[in-house]
A = this chain, B = another copy of it.
Amino acid sequence: MKNTFGTNVSVTVFGESHGPAVGAVLDGMAPGIEIDYEYIKHRLKLRAPVGSISTSRREDDDFEILSGVFNGKTTGTPICIVIKNKDVKSKDYSDIKNIARPGHADYTANVKYHGFQDYRGGGHFSGRITAALVAAGAIAATALKNKGIYIGTHIKSLGDIDDIGFSDYRNDIDRLNEKQFAAIDDNIADAMKERIESVAKAGDSIGGVLETAITGVPAGVGEPFFDTVEGVLSHALFAIPAIKGVWFGNAYDMRESLGSEYNDEFYIDGKEQIATKTNNNGGINGGITNGMPIIFSCAVKPTPSICKKQNTVNFESTKETELIIQGRHDPAVIHRARAVVDSVAAIVICDMLSGRFGTDYLR
């Protein structure tokens, strides 16, 4: 399957940047989960472009739920969420329909879809599609919160600016989920925003690393050999445009460490529970959760749309050409992508919990 992901809880996405709508069908969610419309709006707002650090395309992201909800609660049947596209300026793209924007999917889509793809604004490859995922993920996150499971993401680094790390997970997650710009340290957030603005002024773009923490997932979840927590999460996360790397725990920062440093020693914590002193493995041993917070990082590449002149090709004529991208675009997407990462993670965790403990577990 191509646009559907998940086993027991699954999500199907559809839509193009400049088509009538984007949407998602969230299937397999337990019945009886309250639909918190304000929370969904809040999550959509966290993904929405704000101020000068984002594209000037401004969608209200009004969403409509077409199915699977009755009396304000999930019914257990598929939930179709539709978000109409309104602020569409399609003519921006018609001139460059055969020009491969470097770093974008224009060329590869043309090879795969033989010229029939909707090229406007990136079509199905646009980050716009992720709005629907965010709405679906908000429902999943509500279900998880009912089980004491919380997810939060911060911008671990933007270019060479590093945020501080998580210290108190629950508190940090709560605070992050209220912030439009998700750095744990507010001063660092300001520095990051300034950097984005300065990069934008230079007609360029910037990326970084997102780090996500998920607390409250019980030990014993994950289905090795292949459906490890790492494998299933990464599979879904790489669907998010611009994500080019995923690692768990301290896999990258400690890549030069020795086993005696990397191993997480077990101990009995204050609640007579088995825990680990460090969490370099990101809460996962052998592909299965160990009860510690699940920690993973995503490398987000700089937005490929930049204002500078670039060399490229016209794939219709197979000739070289130069390109200056017009239209509206983001100097960085990392601060918007964090809401998508949270949502994808929420859906995947719902899937894994439902598979492990049954379809009624989350209600």
Contact = CB atoms under 8 A, between A and B. Distances in A.
Contact of A290 (B28, B107, B303): B107
Contact of A226 (B4, B220, B223, B245): B4
Contacts of A286: 104-105, 108-109, 125, 241
B16 A159 contact: no
Contacts of A91: none
A289 B318 CA distance: 18
11 contacts: A1-B227, A3-B224, A23-B66, A105-B286, A107-B285, A108-B289, A125-B286, A204-B258, A204-B259, A231-B236, A277-B311
Interface string A44-79: 000000000000000000001111111101111111
B308 A260 contact: yes
A124 B285 contact: no
A43 B246 CA distance: 28
Interface in A99-121: 100, 102-105, 107-109, 111-118
A219 to B, nearest CB: 4
Interface stretch (A141-149, A164-172, A263-271): A263-271
B238 A230 contact: yes
Most buried by B among A14, A228, A299: A14
B204 A224 contact: no
A32 interface: yes
A266 B15 contact: no
Contacts of A228: 238-239
A194 B37 CA distance: 51
A4 B80 CA distance: 13
Contacts of A302: 257-259, 261-263
Given A286-B125, A313-B274, A25 B14 contact: yes
B318 A363 contact: no
Given A204-B258, A245-B255, 12 more contacts: A1-B28, A3-B25, A14-B68, A31-B115, A82-B82, A108-B288, A111-B219, A225-B239, A226-B236, A234-B246, A244-B282, A355-B358
The 10 closest A-B pairs by CB, nearest first: A105-B286, A245-B247, A205-B259, A244-B251, A111-B220, A31-B116, A259-B302, A358-B358, A108-B288, A235-B235
Range class of the A interface residue count: 35 or more
A222 interface: yes
A206 interface: yes
Nearest to A359: B356
A103 B264 contact: yes
A203 to B, nearest CB: 8
A326 interface: no
Nearest to A322: B265
Contacts of A243: 230
A259 B224 contact: no
B268 A318 contact: yes
A24 B65 CA distance: 14
Given A14-B80, A31-B117, A129 B225 contact: yes
A22 interface: yes
Interface stretch (A5-13, A173-181, A182-190): A5-13
B117 A263 contact: no
A302 to B, nearest CB: 4
